[in-house]
């Protein structure tokens, strides 16, 4: 039975990626009508009831965005986290700010099986902002319970998890369930503006791209009491590959999704390097033994696309260094700074500048508006295949830096045991 599931999921992935001996996107759309949508409990004029699974910083941001959607009625009815203090903290914060938009009997579920009571709750939609390791299992359970789903990026911590999610995605389609994924830059007006112009030929034929995700250091992992090693690693999930996939996958995936959107392609092959020990740790080797994690603090990846375009990708999480998060496309007649919403001539003269401000907060609200509308009007959207392409794009680079080898996309999939 497992072999059949893997074969079916493999077919779905390969249909999405392989075309004319290259790995090409099917079209770049981020959602479309699937089937008659699951109705909102209580009727079309009732509040959409939501649940949050994973009660960290991102859950609070999404809750704020949902509450800020204009002309929409929502109610928070359930919260879940493996750590009890997390769900309690979020409940108090949201209840204090949003009053009766948080149900008086709002369920708070905790512990390793915290997802189970959510499945039986009155929620119409579940927001999953857990560590990546939990997302494939939670997604499967939520879809089987018949609820709509919002998944944070990336889809999973490894390739096998992405394939698992692709398989579950077909069940969501059949059930009329809306599924959105947290690539909110797709809804940012500035990005949409400049990428539309790029697709209309504003810089000629793209030949080269750059993507940066450079920021300050990750917090040092800490131990609490006599917790087990597994509990320690799960609580500090962004320091371990099996729980978070490394920050190239967990964070830089957002910028790589923008590149994929702009180029309308995924890469064929990648090579690169990464490691731990930049700047302050380079001269103080004792700090290396203190970090207690296994993720790299820097990655540099060269991606090659089927039509000869090359992307140079750099991501770094260290102190006292150049911080920059941006994406750039260079073409035969000009270049585009996608993050700044600016198009330049080859000599550096500004040819065009978007009038829209860059705002991830506004983009997050716009995505929630679209997501809730798809549920409200019964026209479900499923963004899983698009999100899988971007997640695997990031994982290809991660495998290259970890192995020190030139890794082809087909090899990445076969390495997960997919025929």
**pTM for the model:** 0.89
Instruction: Tell me which CATH code domain 186-357 carries.
Output: 3.30.360.10
Interatomic CA distance for residues 288 and 327, integer angstroms: 31
CATH second-level architecture of 2-182+363-383?
3-Layer(aba) Sandwich (3.40)
Interatomic CA distance for residues 55 and 42, integer angstroms: 27
- Using N-to-C axis directions, what is the helix angle for 360-376 and 57-67, rounded to 10°? 60
Whether 2-182+363-383 and 186-357 share one fold: the answer is: no
Of 373, 220, 386, 228, residue with least CA distance to 293: 220
pLDDT tens for each residue of 42-96: 777 899 999 999 999 999 999 999 999 999 999 999 999 999 999 999 999 999 9
| pLDDT, position 416 | 63
Of 266, 212, 215, 274, residue with least CA distance to 412: 266
End-to-end CA distance of the chain: 15
Instruction: Return the exposure string of 327-364: e unless at least 16 CB atoms fall within 10 Å of the residue's CB, then b.
Output: bbbbbeebbbbbbbbbbbeeeeeebeebeeebeeebbb
In contact, 77 and 46? CB cutoff 8 Å: no
In contact, 117 and 141? CB cutoff 8 Å: no
pLDDT along the chain (419 residues), means of 10: 42 43 36 63 87 96 97 97 93 96 96 96 98 97 98 96 96 97 98 98 98 91 88 91 94 98 96 79 48 82 96 93 96 98 98 95 98 96 97 97 94 70
Q: Give Rg (Cα) of the chain.
A: 21
> What residues contact 162, with CB distance under 8 A and at least 6 apart?
13, 136, 155, 156, 388, 391, 392, 395
N residues, the chain: 419
Rounded to whole angstroms, the maximal C-alpha distance in the chain is 64
pLDDT tens for each residue of 76-87: 999 999 999 999
Domain boundaries, the chain: 2-182+363-383, 186-357
| pLDDT, position 35 | 61
| pLDDT, position 136 | 98
| pLDDT, position 40 | 85
324-331 and 206-215 as β-strands: parallel, antiparallel, unpaired? antiparallel
Interatomic CA distance for residues 247 and 315, integer angstroms: 8
User: Exposed, middle or buried by CB within 10 Å (0-12, 13-18, 19+), for 194?
Assistant: buried
Interatomic CA distance for residues 32 and 48, integer angstroms: 21
Q: What are phi and psi of 12, to 5 degrees?
A: -60, -45
| pLDDT, position 33 | 45
């Amino acid at each position: 039975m497992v072999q059949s599931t893997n074969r079916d999921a493999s077919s779905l992935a390969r249909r999405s990626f392989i075309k004319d001996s290259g790995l090409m996107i099917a079209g770049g759309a981020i959602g479309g009508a699937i089937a008659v949508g699951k109705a909102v409990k209580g009727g079309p004029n009732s509040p959409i009831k939501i649940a949050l699974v994973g009660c960290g910083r991102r859950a609070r941001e999404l809750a704020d965005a949902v509450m800020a959607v204009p002309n929409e009625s929502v109610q928070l009815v359930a919260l879940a986290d493996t750590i009890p203090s997390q769900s309690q903290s979020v409940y108090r914060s949201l209840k204090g700010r949003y009053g009766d938009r948080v149900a008086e009997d709002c369920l708070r579920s905790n512990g390793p099986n915290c997802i189970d009571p959510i499945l039986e709750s009155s929620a119409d939609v579940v927001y999953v902002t857990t560590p990546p390791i939990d997302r494939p299992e939670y997604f499967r359970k939520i879809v089987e319970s018949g609820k709509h789903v919002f998944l944070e990026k990336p889809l999973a911590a490894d390739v096998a998890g992405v394939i698992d999610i692709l398989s579950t995605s077909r069940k969501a389609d059949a059930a009329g369930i809306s599924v959105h994924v947290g690539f909110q830059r797709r809804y940012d007006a500035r990005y949409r503006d400049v990428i539309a112009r790029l697709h209309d030929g504003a810089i000629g034929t793209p030949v080269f791209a750059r993507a940066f995700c450079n920021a300050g250091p990750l917090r040092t992992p800490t131990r609490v009491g006599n917790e087990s090693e597994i509990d320690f690693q799960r609580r500090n999930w962004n320091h371990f590959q099996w729980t978070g996939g490394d920050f190239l996958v967990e964070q830089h995936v957002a910028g790589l999704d923008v590149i994929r959107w702009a180029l309308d392609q995924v890469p064929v092959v990648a090579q690169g390097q990464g490691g731990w020990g930049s700047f302050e740790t380079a001269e103080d080797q004792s700090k290396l033994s203190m970090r207690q994690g296994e993720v790299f603090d820097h990655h540099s990846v060269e991606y090659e696309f089927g039509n000869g375009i090359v992307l140079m990708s750099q991501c770094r999480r260290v102190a006292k260094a150049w911080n920059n998060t941006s994406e750039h496309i260079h073409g035969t007649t000009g270049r585009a700074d996608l993050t700044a919403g600016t198009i330049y001539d080859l000599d550096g003269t500004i040819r065009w500048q978007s009038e829209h401000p860059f705002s991830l907060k506004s983009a997050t609200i716009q995505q929630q508006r679209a997501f809730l509308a798809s549920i409200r009007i019964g026209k479900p959207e499923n963004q899983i295949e698009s999100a899988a392409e971007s997640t695997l794009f990031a994982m290809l680079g991660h495998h290259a830096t970890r192995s020190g080898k030139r890794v082809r996309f087909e090899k990445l999939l076969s390495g997960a045991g997919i025929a």
